[in-house]
Amino acid sequence: MNVKVGKKVTIKVMATLVAKVTYKSSNKKIVTVMDKGVVKGVKKGKATITVKANGKTVKVKVAVK
């Protein structure tokens, strides 16, 4: 996934009966992520967003350009 500095992109979770979804950035100086999965590029670089739902974990690599 690519995002430009200052721009936002949303990560969408495709699952049925999702009890709770959590998002976490590996480096908040590069990219931030809000509760609804909205990712914002802060400065150029690479980071990973970890998404957890229904006992599953997915890592999304993000490049901020």
- What is the C-alpha separation between 8 and 53, in angstroms, rounded? 22
**Position 37, amino acid:** G
User: What's the pLDDT score for residue 15?
Assistant: 64
Q: Which CATH number fits domain 2-64: 2.60.40.1080, 3.90.1580.10, 3.30.1130.10, 2.60.120.1060?
A: 2.60.40.1080
Write the pLDDT tens digit of every residue in 18-57.
678 899 999 999 999 998 889 999 999 999 999 998 888 9
DSSP helix/strand/coil, 21: strand
pLDDT tens-digit series, residues 10-25:
887 766 666 788 999 9
CA gap 63, 42 in Å, rounded: 11
Distances (CA, A) of 47 to 10, 13, 21: 15, 19, 19
